[in-house]
Structure 1
């Protein structure tokens, strides 16, 4: 690279990791962003609908954040002048078959009140309520003493938690936070799950002691501002088919041909990065190989049948349970009017992995989203994962990295991806300075 010439950097993937890296490099490099989808943003995917001449931004994947656990993202929003909107929190559990409903209010009652309200009609619920209390008390103590270094399933087995507690409470909260199928929840590190509740509160995403916020107008607002501030050569609908590390640069291949760059930021899922990278280093292989992903179906709709039956009990987060095909199916429905804190004539919902299709006449859009499976193996590799970016022309980043600022249990979130992208850019800046 000639002296005093800005390096040519390709960023592959325009999700939060790629946008973060590109923004960080904007004043020191010539940036080309490749995105296989017809839109930038990744999980910052907003569907804009018009109602009475007003545009409503409805988020379908990344929806909420808070200053404590999204510090870099919040600083980024402040720098860009992105509007953020507070929402009141609150959650509701509901069983479509039995009619059992409980939520934020019930978790704060005394045991005698729970017995009086539920024992006659739902005799199993007071026991679940007691297990919820026990879990949050004991798990915090076990976490602080280093006694949660195992899978969640093993932790629950060792401590005698019932199947009803798992399926009527814990599995639904975890499915919403990490967007993974119920059967994979038990493989998660217990420490990672407990750390989330310790840092937030017993309500998880519906916790009311957390300053939860959404992006004004939907997360597409921050994507647009980030791209305007960065000004890259944005190539949407142009999937990369290969990345090869050469002695003097990195070759990127698409259907349009091959180009050589000084650096490449590979801001994709780990399995996709591993497939694209033709000659990974040993450290890159160790970071990428074997990271698993799961897919979730997300439906944006107006069908209230996937909500609690009593409208007055609708929370921002509504955790449902029902029998389908002989199995217990857990799902979550976000009530976007409340989450985004807007008033509208219609009610708008996002349901993750619905147990049955919503009324097709009420469906607005459907998406498949992929998330890393956060198991013990992925958490263990966090101790060395950043070594993959040392001394190479290809820098890796994504939500399968942890946030350095918050520690190895902060994996899989928008903040983790954004933080990893910023770190990848920082390595390039160090090398060209």
Structure 2
């Protein structure tokens, strides 16, 4: 496929490439070298992008705490859903191995930003840990912000899912992403 000569004089050969990214990002990586089929198939997948905040702002939850649930839909803004997940409750609903993985991610995010928190489990802290997608404003007590995209179901995406085999391994390039298998029946 290609080789790279390093500063120390060594050479590394690559036999293939796996592009594990959203379909639009895969096309950007391929640039002008994308084939007609790659453009047609990967280009059929459209994405909805969200700004996501890990925070402790109770104002993004129902006013009555008795109405709080694991998922709290606050409405839509500019065709984007605004929803707050109550992590403390979600921790209780996850399977033990999932719970441990999510707990470590949450603790790592909090430790990274220097918020002292001695906790075995966020369900016992007495403080809400919330994740909000697409809030109207930046939440108070924000611990972490990131953005991500999710594939949008469509007829074109379903058709493209069934045609992925036409580009897999061609030119020794393989594609992997959330769009794979998301729109096809098992």
TM-score (norm 2): 0.68
Q: Does 1:285 align with 2:44?
A: no
Looking at structure 1, the residues matched to 3 and 24 of structure 2 have their Cα atoms a distance apart, in angstroms, of: 19
Residue 386 of structure 1: SS of its match in structure 2? Answer: helix
| 1:408 alignment partner in structure 2 | 184
Cα gap change, 1:250 to 1:266, in 2 (>3 Å): farther
Where 1:367 maps in the other structure, the secondary structure is: strand
Residue 274 to residue 260, structure 1, CA distance change in 2 (3 Å): farther
Deviation at 1:409, TM superposition (A): 5.4
Q: Which residue of 1 aligns with 2:113?
A: none
> Aligned partners of 1:251 and 1:290: how far apart in 2?
32
For structure 2, the 5+ residue unaligned runs are 5-10, 93-122
Question: Which residue is 1:379 aligned to?
Answer: 158
Which residue of structure 1 aligns with residue 83 of structure 2? 332
User: What is residue 261 of structure 1 aligned with on the other side?
Assistant: 14
Q: What is the match of residue 136 of structure 2?
A: 355
Give the conservation status (yes or no) of the 8 Å contact 1:334–1:349. Answer: yes
Deviations along 1:174-226, one digit per CA (max 9) or x if unpaired, are xxxxxxxxxxxxxxxxxxxxxxxxxxxxxxxxxxxxxxxxxxxxxxxxxxxxx
Change (3 A) 1:400 1:251: farther
Is there any run of 5+ residues in structure 1 with no aligned partner, and where? Answer: 1-248, 253-257, 411-433
1:395 and 2:158 correspond: no
CA contact (8 A) 1:283 1:388 kept: yes
Give the match's secondary structure for 2:157: helix
Cα distance between partner residues in 2 of 1:287 and 1:328: 25
Asked whether the equivalents of residues 329 and 355 of structure 1 are also in contact (C-alpha less than 8 Å), the reply is no
Correspondence for 2:112: none
* Native 8 Å contact 1:296 1:370 kept in 2: yes
* CA offsets 1:35-78 (integer angstroms, 9 cap, x no match): xxxxxxxxxxxxxxxxxxxxxxxxxxxxxxxxxxxxxxxxxxxx
Report the secondary structure of 1:339's partner residue. helix
Say which SS state the counterpart of residue 402 (structure 1) adopts.
coil
User: Is 1:297 matched with 2:51?
Assistant: yes
Report which structure shows greater RCO (CA 8 Å, sep ≥6): 2
1:387 Cα deviation (Å)? 2.2
TM score, norm. by length of structure 1: 0.31
2:124 partner SS: coil
Matched residue, 1:176: none
How many residues of Structure 1 are paired with residues of Structure 2 in the alignment? 149
TM-fit CA distance, 1:288: 1.7
- Cα shift at 1:251: 5.6
Could you report, residue by residue, the CA deviation over 1:115-154 in whole angstroms, capped at 9, with x for unpaired residues? xxxxxxxxxxxxxxxxxxxxxxxxxxxxxxxxxxxxxxxx
Structure 1 residue 302: deviation in Å?
Answer: 0.6
Deviation at 1:329, TM superposition (A): 7.3
Contact preservation (8 Å) 2:3, 2:14 = yes
Query: Are 2:90 and 1:309 aligned?
Result: no
For residues 32-431 of structure 1, what are the structure 2 equivalents within 5 Å? 249-250=1-2, 260-277=13-30, 279-321=33-75, 330-341=81-92, 342-359=123-140, 362-402=141-181, 408=184
Q: 1:311: Cα distance to partner?
A: 1.1
For 2:12 and 2:40, the matched residues in 1 are separated by 27
Deviation at 1:401, TM superposition (A): 1.5
**Root-mean-square deviation (CA), in Å?**
2.8
CA distance in 2, matches of 1:328, 1:292: 15
